[in-house]
Amino acid sequence: MSKPSKIAATGEPLARLLGVRKPLDARARFWVGVLAFALPFLSWCAVSYVPFIWHPQVLVSSAGDVKVPGEYSYVAEGDTIDLDVFVMRNRELSAAHAKLAEGKRVNPIYLQAPHEVARAMYTAFTTAPERTGDAWLHESLLQSCKVIFWGFFWSALFGVPLGVLCGTFPFFARLFEPFVDFVRYMPAPVFGALMVTMLGLADEPKIAIIFIGTFFQMVLIVSNTTRAVDASLLHAAQTLGANKRQLVWHVVVPGALPGLYRDMRILIGWAWTYLVVAELIGEKSGLSAFIYQQQRYRHFDNVYAAIVIIGVVGLCIDQFLAVLARYLFPWETGQTGLVRMMRAMRRAMPQRALVRT
């Protein structure tokens, strides 16, 4: 080890972590990433398990002398009441020299402790729903994924080509973009009633809402990404003899592809946002219906379980797409593993398959 590098490595830890625009080293990256989830989780645990943090209510275990009259005499055993009500009642009881009420401080029902949510998540997957005919959690999850998939599929099927067209030909940009921009400002849920009337109560109107919510944004975002393809690449291709069709297929499309992929990653997150509204129109379905139902039963542990699952699914999809991108676009990341594998596979194929007839 030479001296200067040692100094750099052992420099003040805080200064190393908080350098302006200074990238973190691999170990710091990992642990700070862990902290990103650990911090909110630990504060959740603190609020849930440390009795003197928050806990604004009292679960009454014994109401004391119930015969003592007073403004707060309604306090009964088993009630969950606000802390100040409990204090006032005990003041009344102590003024009458009667037996005091007892209880323990609890959080309101809408704040469930981590272990309760974890248990709910487990039981939701393992025990049948309370009412026959209600969906299991995994069925709801699958249903939601299905609606998202089809909504996003149709949106991308039309939105991407239209966006690329607008980004490539100013004629189409002028023809489509003003109207798309106009519709974009209408919140997708306002079409809910119309979609139900047109498409019925099942999945179709929900898919339509996700389509409306993402399609118009997608056209504009895709066309901007397409426009961002370096014009000098187009010029270079033209001086190499590319015609109009070849310019689009061999320069514009591959040039925009990594950007389009990033756009889709962002837009799929939007689709999840619209999902919650979409699933509540017509016949309620999917995770939103599950959440809605559980909220009516006041099973807030289940509500949290469903919300956490949405987060986990979203995070998994995004991380998967991020890792996939590294292999799909080796020219941006230097990850040539997939390309090398494809080349090896092509070499392994019988030679005849290579020659196009």
| Beta strand pairing call for 57-62 and 102-106 | antiparallel
Q: Tokens for 8?
A: 């750099």
Distance CA 314, CA 166 (A): 30
- Per-residue binding letters, 3-42, with other proteins (x by CB under 8 A): ----------------------------------------
Q: Which is nearer to other proteins, 13 or 334 (CB)?
A: 334
| DSSP 3-state of 111 | coil
47-52 own/partner pairs: CB under 8 Å, 24+ apart: 47/107, 47/111, 48/107, 48/111, 48/112, 48/113, 48/114, 49/113, 51/104, 51/105
254 near other proteins (CB under 8 A): yes
Q: Choose the stretch contacting other proteins; rule: CB under 8 A; options: 5-13, 170-178, 180-188, 237-245.
A: 237-245
Size of the site for other proteins (CB under 8 A): 23
Q: Please, what sign has the CA dihedral across residues 9, 10, 13, 16?
A: negative
Shortest distance, CB of residue 226 to other proteins, whole angstroms? 15
Judged by beta carbon, residue 57 or residue 226, the one nearer other proteins is 226
Half-sphere exposure (CA, 13 Å, Cβ side) for 213?
Answer: 28
Least distance to other proteins, CB of residue 268, Å:
23
**Distances, alpha carbon 111 to alpha carbons 43, 48, 50, 56, 301, in Å:** 13, 8, 14, 11, 8
Does position 350 interact with other proteins (CB under 8 A)? The reply is no
Toward other proteins, which CB reaches closer, 146 or 250? 250
Tell me the window of 97-105, 117-125, 154-162, 250-258 that interacts with other proteins (CB under 8 A).
250-258
The residue (of 222 and 229) whose beta carbon lies closer to other proteins is: 229
From 331, 344, 346, 349, residue interacting with other proteins (rule: CB under 8 A): 331
Report d(CA 249, CA 234) in Å as an integer: 11
Stretch that binds other proteins, among 114-122, 149-157, 236-244, 264-272 (CB under 8 A): 236-244
Give, rounded to a whole angstrom, the gap between the first and last alpha carbons of the chain.
61
Q: Out of 54, 149, 292, 329, which residue is the one contacting other proteins (CB under 8 A)?
A: 329
Interaction site with other proteins (CB under 8 A): 230, 232-233, 235-243, 246, 250-251, 254-255, 257, 329-332, 334
